[in-house]
Structure 1
């Protein structure tokens, strides 16, 4: 059984697929009184609709660990972090208590902090430690929980980096935020720098820097000269622990040395405002990417024109037109996510949820009841979990 946790700006969906990839059930945290009617949107199957505390919130991100599928984290822009302990059926806010506020005096050795900013813009769970949860906020701060989200500690020093004075998010130039948190896979054999997978993280600040930590956030490594500046998404693969792909406003980038240096393989890519990137579950050489010409064409429905691309090995990017996936004019930038088996990917946009089982050659819509107005919204987060 595959469970998909999908967040658009205005609603959360939990979709359960059977072995054929058909929606067996779907539940929602935003009451839908109508279904989008565009021909490219999969028809709804009238799944059960469940009201929850997420109704009406501006959703930003979602995270689930496959070993703890009952625990779902959703970040909102105006009301902090929410979690579910029943697989997404109900939610409550967390991170509002548990110790001193960030920036206050702390006892030696650290203390548990609340997540002070209300804008939670990124959330992730360590792959080998399901109780280790990381959160990024606006303004840019990083928090970590080691008890599954009950208590939180701010990882100090992020904004002490030299490049921090240049960080700025263009729509709100007085501030910036952590757009993405990506744990680096654990190295197996060979030389290491002494850091385990749970200790090595990529942290994307929008806009201005992709920074790293090799010690769980105790210290920070600033951006490197050839690194991306406007990172939106980072994707890694356990079979290539030092490789990371980045979808950024300044292009698509890849590192093969853990972020020390970066290349920009853009042959075949006719749009370079990149939003989302995913690596095949069984093949680290197959990568999917969504991109537009500009932020305006990526995020605004009445001006949108976005596409999804595929790269195999060292080959050029191939645009996946005429494969069944809605792309082009009117489609806001898809969020792409790898599935649980090789060749399986999912894409979420203002045209709904779509699935491929053959690496992107063909796509089919997943029938989900979406809230009214989905065609004007952007996708925010997408997680695929195998619960078998």
Structure 2
């Protein structure tokens, strides 16, 4: 059986599969959840970031939550510990040792090796040459850590995407950082690594909005050298979320739209939302796979796989939750309670685990 975590604008929706149905419960109301990670060494331990309401932790599989990472108590002086920003924008957990990584707005990067009891900042990223050029287009006065991918080829390696402006990486656990390798993406929305392809990085990019040939990129050496592989995405070159089959690192899925306006904006006469999903197998061009999937009026899809299940991909946006069994090549709706208010909310993440 599955458990789904759906990030909505005003709540975390947890959907648990039962023998005959699905049970839905709402959590963290009013916090604007932004990202969520499950510790696969202990699936009851889950972390959820929020935009403006800090970092939260569950120790019972998502049934209850408590805030963590605070800098200091109200009546104590600031000791410089904890997470300084309440605006959490990205999370990741290292599968090998359980290290938790936290990215914020403005761009700061932290890690915890004790399950979130204490946090340490990677301060060296503040001195990177590209930092003065980091700028998030909707709020050009700021920027944020958009995506984090621990390396599978180097236990001290960490790969990070800043929106907008840079891909950065470290090979020595943050003692030194490498800034914007030649031809690396500048607007990576989702950065992934795969345990069966150590050293490979996958980047679903917003760069394609200005140049369709830059929509998707991969690196075979943890970001030192990048290759763009965007053929087939010309009609929808703005990419956002991504998923990879857990048993096949050459089977990739991305959510795509024509532009950020059609992916993220509210529907009006000027901008009509339209989002779809593409698949790339091996070296073949990308192909759109949207049969039975609502595309008109759709915010950009969030994608996910369950690491214990090959051949199945899940997608979620304002129209609901969907499943693709790859052998059938068409989507089916997962029947869960879907409230009218969800139809106008932008999705922020989808995480799927086995119960």
* Contact 2:71-2:84 at 8 Å conserved across structures: no
- Name the structure 1 match of 2:162: 205
What is the CA distance between 1:370 and its match in structure 2? 4.0
CA distance in 2 between partners of 1:105 and 1:96 (Å): 11
Match for 2:62 among 88, 103, 120?
88
Name the counterpart of 1:154: 121
Q: 1:315 to 1:77 in 2, by over 3 A?
A: same
1:337·1:345 contact (CA, 8 Å) conserved in 2?
A: yes
Match of 1:177 in 2: 144
**Partner residue in 1 for 2:228:** 264
Runs of 5+ unmatched residues, structure 2: 208-214
- Aligned partner of 1:12 in structure 2 is 12
What residue in structure 2 maps to residue 128 of structure 1?
A: 96
Structure 1 residue 274, shift from structure 2 partner: 0.7
Deviation at 1:182, TM superposition (A): 1.2
Q: CA deviation at 1:97?
A: 4.0
Deviation at 1:297, TM superposition (A): 0.7
**1:326 positional shift:** 2.0
Extract unaligned runs of 5+ from structure 1: 30-53, 107-112, 188-194
Alignment counterpart, residue 313 of structure 1, candidates 282, 287, 311: 282
SS of 2:5's equivalent in the other structure is strand
Corresponding residue for residue 211 of structure 2 = none
Alpha-carbon offset, residue 27 of structure 1 = 2.0
Write the distance in 2 (CA, Å) between the matches of 1:248 and 1:90: 34
Match of 1:237 in 2: 194
Cα-to-partner distance string for 1:97-143 (whole Å, 9 max, x where unaligned)? 469xxxx887xxxxxx211101000111111123x111000000001
Does 1:282 pair with 2:247?
yes
User: What secondary structure is seen at the aligned counterpart in 1 of 2:23?
Assistant: strand
Contact 1:255–1:263 (8 Å) recurs in 2: yes
For 1:78, the equivalent position in structure 2 comes to 52
Name the structure 2 match of 1:377.
Answer: 345
Q: Equivalent residue for 2:323?
A: 355
2:219–2:225 Cα contact (<8 Å) kept: yes
- TM-score normalised by length of structure 2: 0.90
8 Å CA contact retained: 2:92, 2:102 = yes
Number of matched residues?
338
CA-CA distance at 1:92 after TM superposition: 1.4
Contact 1:63/1:124 (8 A) holds in 2: yes
Deviation at 1:357, TM superposition (A): 2.2
Tell me the CA shift for residue 218 of structure 1. Answer: 2.6
Q: Which has the higher contact order (CA 8 A, sep 6+)?
A: 1
Q: CA deviation at 1:377?
A: 1.4
In the alignment, the residues of structure 2 paired with residue 249 and residue 338 of structure 1 have an alpha-carbon distance, to the nearest angstrom, of 22
Measured against aligned partners, the alpha-carbon deviations of 1:171-225 in whole angstroms (never above 9, x if no partner) come to 111110001111122x3xxxxxxx32xx212111000001111122232111112
What is the Cα-based RMSD across aligned positions, in Å?
Answer: 1.9
Is 1:55–2:39 an aligned residue pair? Answer: no
| d(CA) in 1 for partners of 2:101, 2:118 | 11
Distance verdict in 2 for CA 1:282–1:18, change over 3 Å: farther
Partner SS for 1:374 = helix
Shift in CA distance, 23/181, structure 1 to aligned 2, threshold 3 Å: farther
Task: Decide whether the 8 Å contact of 1:249 with 1:274 is kept in 2.
Answer: yes
Q: Work out whether 1:116 is the aligned partner of 2:84.
A: yes
